[in-house]
Amino acid sequence: MIIKDLGKIIKGRTPPTDKMEYWNGDIPFVTTKDLQTGKYIRSTERTVTLSGLQLYPKSIVPPDSVCLSCTGNLGYVGITTEPCLTNQQILAIVPGKENDPEYIYYLMKSMWGYFKQIEGHSTVTSVLSKEWFSDIEINVPDLSVQREIAETLRPFDELLEINAQKENNLREQLKLIFRHYTSNSDETIPLCDLCTVKNGTYQIYQSDDINVGGNIKWLCAQDISGTFVSETSRTVSEEVLSVSRGKQETFPSGTIVISIVGTIGQTAITTVPMCANSAIAFIIPNNINLTEYIYTYLLRQYEYLNQIASGSVLKRINVNTLKALPVPMPSEKELQLIIDVIRPYFVQLRHIHEENTVLTQTQDIAVSKLFAGTLL
């Protein structure tokens, strides 16, 4: 069989962005970013109104559909929980009665390497067309076996979702603590006086074999989904960095990274050396003792950065805007008190990150075994 035999395939549509009557309603509008928060799409960064939804009746995606990113970073996947629209970078599978949505979700996850191979042979933005995707040949068991496979893999996602809730709660507490301790601080210092702040590298073309793989992790905005980041969806070689445009450089573990193009303000701390594309800025505190303090400050700047971001197509923040951000700077004694209070939170967050890494790796092994021979 082929993928379109699993159910109806829907390509996303975006209501006109200059018509405010179509936006900020109660109906989810799914983008690639929304596929990186867990198995189920429970909330989205953007929403549309009923009028926006009704513009494209054939593109309405029902609950229990499987969404897959098909442009740029291919292969991110999630299951809808209510009727929604998606943008053009998403393909949705509406399962037929003889197929299980969870099974299809894991099937798409098992194809991650296939999708990344497609990315690796594109000289421009990678695109997985609806027609190409629909005709991919697969071998799928009957419904009862599909449900058994989904039941085997489900506990991993349940644990990951619990950890995501814990992580979000800890980050919210950090923001409240920061506000409490710095609300009376009159003195501020520009971020660039406390840290080295730079753009990531230019986009690296992947058409040549030397650009596919390598031992250097290459960070994109889509890789930032938690407080810490260890893994990236792509890697590059030292040769690529040496010949690509601009001055390329890696940054060490413990660097703060923040997305500044498209998805604005996603912030994390690296646990291994990396390089990054131009949608990322990296921030290295002059004093390593300030890392958690600066990270927490940037968490609180998320809404502000999104408000001031500019661009008619892709929103962006200039790195000079980051450099000029005014960081509250209490007395040395008060600063150390804040650091002492927030540091245990980062110990917990690092533990969650490490647990998630093990869970994800174990699930990936289980998926590869359970779906061996599925892709023909």
Mean pLDDT of 189-200: 95
Of residues 199 and 30, more confidence is placed in 30
* Cβ count near 28 (within 10 Å): 24
Q: What is the pTM of this model?
A: 0.88
All domains in the chain, ordered by first residue: 3-140 (3.90.220.20), 185-328 (3.90.220.20)
Mean pLDDT of 207-212: 46
Q: What are phi and psi of 151, to 5 degrees?
A: -65, -35
Confidence of residue 295 (pLDDT cuts 50, 70, 90): very high
CB 376 within 8 A of CB 139: yes
CB 330 within 8 A of CB 182: yes
Residue ranges of E strands in 182-320: 188-190, 195-199, 216-219, 228-229, 234-236, 256-259, 267-270, 275-276, 280-285
Confidence of residue 211 (pLDDT cuts 50, 70, 90): very low
Give the CA distances from residue 157 to residues 107, 120, 161, 260, 351, in Å, rounded to whole numbers and listed in that order.
15, 28, 6, 29, 17
Give the Cα separation of 223 and 229 in Å (integer).
7
CB 174 within 8 A of CB 197: no
SS3 259: strand
- CB burial readout 320-340, b (16+ within 10 A) else e: ebbbebebbbbeeeebeebbe
pLDDT in tens, 304-348: 999 999 886 678 999 999 999 999 999 999 999 999 999 999 999
DSSP state of 196: E
- Asked if residue 94 has pLDDT above 80, the reply is yes
pLDDT in tens, 108-136: 999 998 887 877 655 456 789 999 999 99
Could you give the percent of the chain with pLDDT greater than 90? 76
pLDDT in tens, 80-90: 999 999 999 99
Nearest-CA neighbor of 208 among 137, 110, 120?
120
Q: Return the pLDDT at 251.
A: 93
CB 364 within 8 A of CB 160: no
Of residues 347 and 203, more confidence is placed in 347
pLDDT in tens, 260-289: 998 899 999 999 999 998 899 999 999 999
pLDDT in tens, 212-262: 568 889 898 889 989 999 999 888 887 777 766 555 678 999 999 999 998
Residue ranges of E strands in 81-127: 85-86, 90-95
Average pLDDT, the chain: 91
